[in-house]
A and B are shown apart, each in its own frame.
Chain A
Amino acid sequence: MHEIPINHILFLSTALFFIGVYGFLSRKNMITMLMAVELILNAVNINFVAFNKYLFPGKLDGLFFTIFIIAIAAAEAAVAIAIIINLYRSHKSIDVDEVNDMKY
């Protein structure tokens, strides 16, 4: 019925998810970490869409979740960037390793 098997789409989303994880854990710059988080969220979105399309075509719930996630991601990005900017003001840096005040 479908030209693309669901597993392939899931492979894509999984790969994207772990690319995001890799970026989140390896990057030291907070903005790039934020970008990695966006990648992770997008991977989840792809997952939702795929599940919606392949497993529950009679409903649109997966789509709604995706939309909500996008909305929340926007809010999250706004707050995160506000924090980053504030942090940059106080620490002159947005490197996470510089911001190690929560120590011991």
Chain B
Amino acid sequence: MFYLLGTFILLFGFLSVTTRHIFRAAIYLLFCLIGIAGLYFALAYEFLAAVQIVVYVGGIVVLVLFSIFLTHRSGEDLPVPSRIKEFIVFALAFIGFSLTYLILNRSGMGESEAPAVAPTVQNIGAQMLDTQSFGFLLPFEVVSILLLAAMIGAIVIAIKDKAIPSKSEKI
């Protein structure tokens, strides 16, 4: 099951970064993310899988699709990148991958036998918002503020600038 999922993820990830159609890239990305959600399921992190689907699939990919609609005429192919550059980048990525993997293999990961905490929603909520022993309350609050700031920032950036007529006329 895991290997199937892994193949699925990698395949769609790869397709997503190689396809010439941007729209299809987004769709492949969607499948890839769903696959990752499936992986979380397989690893018994149900809550995480749900978050993955809600945020990524329901949020980010939809956002990406919207932006594609805004900036592209549909059916337009992406320009073919230069062979040399593609080769260089591929080689770099491959070197990086092999390097990382070699190091991974060299360092044996001692798997822990400690009693597992079930990643249930109850546990997650209790531990995350605990102020005593675990204490992820502060990052939680910071992230909420970050999200608010990002939202406002995104609106400010994307808002149509009426003050500069030359730019708006171009649009």
Compute the total of residue contacts between A and B using a CB distance below 8 Å. Answer: 233
- Residue pair B116, A57 in contact (C-beta under 8 Å): yes
B117 touches A86 (CB 8 A): no
Question: Taking chain A's interface residues, is the majority helix, strand, or loop, or is none over half, making it mixed?
Answer: helix
A56 touching B89, Cβ below 8 Å: no
* Contact residues, A46-84 vs B (CB, 8 A): 46, 49-50, 53-61, 63-64, 66-68, 70-79, 81-84
User: What are 30 contact pairs spanning A and B, CB under 8 A?
Assistant: A3-B2, A6-B111, A7-B109, A15-B97, A18-B94, A18-B96, A19-B10, A21-B92, A25-B89, A26-B17, A26-B90, A31-B22, A49-B43, A49-B45, A55-B109, A55-B112, A61-B134, A63-B48, A67-B48, A67-B128, A71-B143, A71-B146, A73-B60, A74-B147, A75-B149, A79-B157, A81-B64, A85-B67, A85-B70, A88-B71
Known contacts A70-B55, A86-B158; 5 additional CB pairs below 8 A are A42-B56, A55-B109, A57-B112, A64-B127, A71-B147
Pairs of residues from A and B, 5 with the lowest C-beta to C-beta distance, nearest first: A23-B17, A75-B150, A82-B154, A57-B116, A82-B158
